[in-house]
Structure formats: structure tokens, C-alpha cells
């Protein structure tokens, strides 16, 4: 669900569930000596200030957590989105989400980028473990073949192996 600047939207949400709020920004080129956390190092995502307001089904304010250092960036031409806030619902019902005057917001469920990142990390770890296990297995196979060959040669010299004359 997208919420335009300065507007609010009503959305039916599940109870005891974590939701994420993304803010839509614009991409800009980095200036000389400027750094940004993005991968390519050429662009930065400029997001507006402001803070969203979330109201529960009982009209009480819902606590919205700011996520420092938990930004995921996604580019679509001149636009970018940044995962900046999370909140958890108490009871199921209709919640009111209000965007700041200068920001377009997007609400997502489930709000668990850490699971995605963890899944990618665990996948990479599993791949490296498999490669390492394969290398150890190949080493043991080659070592076993060399050992078997040497033992067979020694047994022939001693006249203990089949085919020894």
C-alpha cells in the first residue's frame, strides 16, 4: 500500500504482526569525496525527513521504531526506496497510517529484511561449506589412492599380493 505525502490511509492489519514502512526517495549522484552505503558507490538515495504516524483500531498511537543502519535500497530509475521504520500491531483491525508532508510511504508485510539477508548469508555459508567438504573429500580420495598404490607395491615386493611371482 502506498501513502502519498501529507495524506493518510486506512489499512486492515493482522494482530501481533510486525510491519515495515519504506520511504520513497530520489537518487542523486555523489559529490566529490562523498560516500554512501550503496553498492555501486556512484549514487545515493535521498529520502525526505519527517516521521510517519500510526494509529491503532482504538485510536491510540502506535510506537514506530526508527531502524538505524538497517537500510535496504532498491532503485527504479530516478527513484529509490529505503526501509526505515517498523511497528508491531497489537490487535487486528483497521489502522491509520499518515505520511509526513514531504514523503511517500509504502507499507509492507512481513517486515523482516533480516530474514532475507540471513537466508542469503546462510545460503552462502552452505555453499562454502559444501565446497570445503568437497575439497576435503577429494583430498582424502587422492590420498587414499596413493596410500593404496604404495601398500600394493610394497606387498608385491614382499610376495604377499596376488599376482606376485
Over residues 100-137, the pLDDT tens digits come to 887 888 888 754 555 555 555 667 777 888 999 999 99
pTM of the entire predicted model: 0.56
CA angle centred on 56, ends 54 and 58, rounded to 5°? 145
In a shared domain, residues 68 and 22: yes
In a shared domain, residues 32 and 67: yes
- The tally of CA atoms less than 13 A away on the side-chain side of residue 99 is 23
In a shared domain, residues 17 and 59: yes
Range of the domain at 143: 113-165
Q: Retrieve residue 140's grid coordinates.
A: 582424502
The helix (run of H) or strand (run of E) holding residue 134 is helix 113-158
Which one of 111, 131, 153 terminates a domain?
111
In a shared domain, residues 10 and 83: yes
In a shared domain, residues 69 and 134: no
Q: What percent of the chain has pLDDT above 70?
A: 72
Amino acid at each position: 500500500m502506498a501513502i502519498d505525502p501529507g495524506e493518510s490511509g486506512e489499512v486492515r492489519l493482522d494482530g501481533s504482526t510486525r510491519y515495515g514502512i519504506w520511504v520513497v526517495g530520489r537518487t542523486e549522484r555523489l559529490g566529490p569525496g562523498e560516500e554512501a552505503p550503496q553498492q555501486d558507490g556512484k549514487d545515493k538515495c535521498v529520502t525526505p525527513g519527517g516521521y510517519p504516524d500510526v494509529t491503532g483500531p482504538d485510536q491510540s498511537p502506535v510506537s514506530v521504531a526508527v531502524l538505524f543502519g538497517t537500510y535496504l535500497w532498491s532503485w527504479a530509475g530516478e527513484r529509490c526506496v529505503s526501509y526505515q521504520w517498523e511497528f508491531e500491531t497489537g490487535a487486528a483491525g483497521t489502522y491509520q497510517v499518515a505520511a509526513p508532508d514531504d514523503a511517500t510511504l509504502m507499507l509492507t508485510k512481513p517486515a523482516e529484511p533480516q530474514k532475507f539477508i540471513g537466508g542469503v548469508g546462510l545460503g552462502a555459508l552452505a555453499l562454502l561449506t559444501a565446497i570445503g567438504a568437497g575439497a576435503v573429500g577429494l583430498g582424502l580420495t587422492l590420498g587414499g589412492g596413493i596410500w593404496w598404490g604404495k601398500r600394493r607395491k610394497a606387498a608385491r615386493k614382499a610376495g604377499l599380493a596376488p599376482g606376485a611371482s
